Chain A
């Protein structure tokens, strides 16, 4: 009963706000909690809630507690703008996280930039997101950073020489990773036998898969989100295609084992985060997440969790004045130097450039882990 839970959480948050006299640091989260992107937005909200709980339980930030202000932006750009304005000008939050989709980010981030409010994307992988300006940060790695490693690994282990490509061409996430796939394939001299597309909400992928199968590739490169990625794996195996499938960030989730049960083997993904990554931080994160939400986290949740911790680390170095405009600038100035080891491993920022080559916002600088699925677990490929 999700209603109940959120009602109780809301109640707890409000009563907490009334009773506690300690200073509060307001942090805005704009996430798609309804609409087609809601399944990704929900994981993101969970990641933030978990991080906020842990930080506050450990004594907060120099004695101040973090208060999340979560708003639903429905995965629509107008809503994202409205939510950003509300968070920045009405709730006067120190930093805004989100929105969930890159499209909405393109529309909403300029608002934060113009009002000198740090904005932090945790799931936006499109090119140009951080070109908006020097208040824009993200810790979502783009495929450009991880794909070359994934491809190198699979060439080395499986001797892949030619691949068939399948991607969602009506979605920014999957289209951007496709663009990066094409570049990485070209750089490494891997031939493409055919390129096929699908659309969000499709129920049938067999026409494309049959065509790919007929071109006899060594592997299939797949750029999809979970909702389509799961069914694609199942239908590929139903058609007798047992080739390795190289996936992007979008399907790096333990949920794939449920959605493609019995057909989930031999999926290769590269990402800084893996559910099988055996660091202390990650193990603790996964255990705490499962205890709080009753399901395993995915990459979106992990990145949201780390993002709040990165900001918290920056805030610990800042003396807050109470003047929101000054504090926002102070936070922005502190953020680029943060290094942090979180669920997604060691993290630091690298400066991005805008279209004219001038320094702009900050992207993630992380090392990917390549893993392959086998019998319901991700096995890390060394």
Chain B
């Protein structure tokens, strides 16, 4: 049982990490707690579902479509909502409230268009069965999620460290004003970040709905709550933190179920979160000083 729970924890942890990546990216660069990230995640899932069901595209093409459509939604949110708020230097709670409004709009639009029923990807879109070895079971989707989480993480980390865009982004994350003085196109970087973060959210939406076998208009809300826990654990705005925080939450939940009792699962997860914050007030990877966004 222990080995199977280890696999369960690893895949659930990767699910959380995958969701938290885009979420933390927006916070790290734009300084906004984007409560519409759950809705963008949902948009990705529905976009891919339509691509698979209506256009009968293969799943990789559906992932690309989800990436693009969610990314465009993220870009639109930035241009229409976040950018005007940045221009007038609104305190960081204000954009958060605006993203609540955006989330309500997207969620209810999805319900209007597709109905409230739980849907799922047709079977056979990805290999359905599980691979069995020595009494352990793992599915193709789980392997895909674990692998993709690691790949995206490595790409983002290397990208941030090695490329000039990465350097500019880090400068912006330190201080947008100073970065602007250095001649960096701060607005452009914000746009790009919004696109990429939302696009990653959309991809996460597809993979997680394949994993859970459920697509419904409010599917992003429970994930959003977990995502918040993950990015606090990891240290807000830190990409390594999203991975560590996600895995931490996944392991905490699975092993709470396995060895303490499933009724205590959420209490254990959030209790640990609470304790970690008391010991390390800025999370596992958080910086000592928080930027006043």
Do these two chains really belong together in a complex?
A: yes
Binds B, one of A48-56, A57-65, A234-242, A317-325: A234-242
**Residues 224-274 (chain A) with a chain B CB within 8 angstroms:** 226-227, 230-231, 234-235, 238-240, 255, 258-262
Question: CB-defined interface of B128-165 with A at 8 Å, one 1/0 digit per residue?
Answer: 11101000010100000000000000000000000000
Task: Name the residue of chain B whose CB is nearest to the CB of A43.
Answer: B117
Are A210 and B258 touching (Cβ within 8 A)?
Answer: yes
Any chain A CB within 8 A of the CB of B15?
A: yes
Which residues of B lie under 8 Å from residue A240 when comparing CB positions?
130, 132, 137
Binds B, one of A154-162, A200-208, A282-290: A200-208
Expressed in whole angstroms, the minimum distance between the Cβ of B52 and any Cβ of chain A is 14
Any chain B CB within 8 A of the CB of A214?
A: yes
Among the listed A42, A196, A207, A238, which residue makes an inter-chain contact with B9, where contact means beta carbons less than 8 Å apart?
A: A207
**Residues 5-39 (chain A) with a chain B CB within 8 angstroms:** 33-36, 38-39
Q: How large is the interface on B (under 10, 10 to 19, 20 to 34, 35 or more residues)?
A: 35 or more
Any chain A CB within 8 A of the CB of B5?
A: yes
User: How distant is the Cα of A261 from the Cα of B129 in the complex, in angstroms?
Assistant: 12
Are A38 and B213 touching (Cβ within 8 A)?
Answer: no
Among the listed A3, A41, A208, which residue makes an inter-chain contact with B262, where contact means beta carbons less than 8 Å apart?
A: A208
Question: CB-defined interface of B242-277 with A at 8 Å, one 1/0 digit per residue?
Answer: 000000000001100110001101100000000000
Which residues of B lie under 8 Å from residue A207 when comparing CB positions?
5, 8-9, 12, 253-254, 257-258, 262
**Residues 147-181 (chain A) with a chain B CB within 8 angstroms:** 169
Among the listed B8, B112, B216, which residue makes an inter-chain contact with A206, where contact means beta carbons less than 8 Å apart?
A: B8
Are A36 and B218 touching (Cβ within 8 A)?
Answer: yes
Any chain B CB within 8 A of the CB of A281?
A: no
Any chain B CB within 8 A of the CB of A197?
A: yes
Task: Name the residue of chain B whose CB is nearest to the CB of A42.
Answer: B116
The A/B interface has a contact count, at CB < 8 Å, of 119
Are A211 and B213 touching (Cβ within 8 A)?
Answer: no
Expressed in whole angstroms, the minimum distance between the Cβ of A341 and any Cβ of chain B is 29
Q: How large is the interface on A (under 10, 10 to 19, 20 to 34, 35 or more residues)?
A: 35 or more
Are A231 and B113 touching (Cβ within 8 A)?
Answer: no
Given A204-B8, A230-B120, A255-B117, A211-B257 contact (CB < 8 Å)? yes
Which residues of A lie under 8 Å from residue B208 when comparing CB positions?
203
Are A204 and B122 touching (Cβ within 8 A)?
Answer: no
Any chain A CB within 8 A of the CB of B175?
A: no
Are B223 and A203 touching (Cβ within 8 A)?
Answer: yes
Which residues of B lie under 8 Å from residue A261 when comparing CB positions?
120, 122-123
Any chain B CB within 8 A of the CB of A69?
A: no
Are A210 and B8 touching (Cβ within 8 A)?
Answer: yes
Which residues of B lie under 8 Å from residue A260 when comparing CB positions?
213
Any chain B CB within 8 A of the CB of A199?
A: yes
Any chain B CB within 8 A of the CB of A2?
A: yes
Are A231 and B258 touching (Cβ within 8 A)?
Answer: no
Any chain B CB within 8 A of the CB of A340?
A: no
Given A39-B117, A210-B8, A169-B263 contact (CB < 8 Å)? yes
User: How distant is the Cα of A214 from the Cα of B211 in the complex, in angstroms?
Assistant: 22
User: How distant is the Cα of A34 from the Cα of B115 in the complex, in angstroms?
Assistant: 10
Which residues of A lie under 8 Å from residue B257 when comparing CB positions?
196, 207-208, 211
Which residues of B lie under 8 Å from residue A201 when comparing CB positions?
218-219, 221-223
- Of B12, B217, B265, the most chain A CB neighbours within 10 A belong to B265
Task: Name the residue of chain B whose CB is nearest to the CB of A214.
Answer: B1
Any chain A CB within 8 A of the CB of B50?
A: no
User: How distant is the Cα of A224 from the Cα of B173 in the complex, in angstroms?
Assistant: 44
Given A197-B262, A198-B262, A230-B214, A211-B137 contact (CB < 8 Å)? no
Spell out B's residues near A (CB within 8 Å).
1, 4-5, 8-9, 11-12, 15, 108, 111-113, 115-118, 120, 122-123, 128-130, 132, 137, 139, 208, 211-214, 216-219, 221-223, 253-254, 257-258, 262-263, 265-266
Would you mind naming 24 contact pairs between A and B with Cβ atoms under 8 Å apart? A3-B112, A34-B116, A38-B116, A39-B118, A39-B216, A42-B116, A197-B262, A198-B262, A201-B218, A201-B219, A201-B223, A203-B208, A206-B4, A207-B253, A208-B262, A210-B4, A211-B1, A211-B258, A211-B262, A214-B1, A230-B120, A231-B213, A238-B139, A262-B123
What 9 A-B pairs come out closest when comparing CB atoms? A201-B222, A38-B116, A203-B212, A207-B257, A207-B254, A39-B116, A214-B1, A206-B8, A238-B130
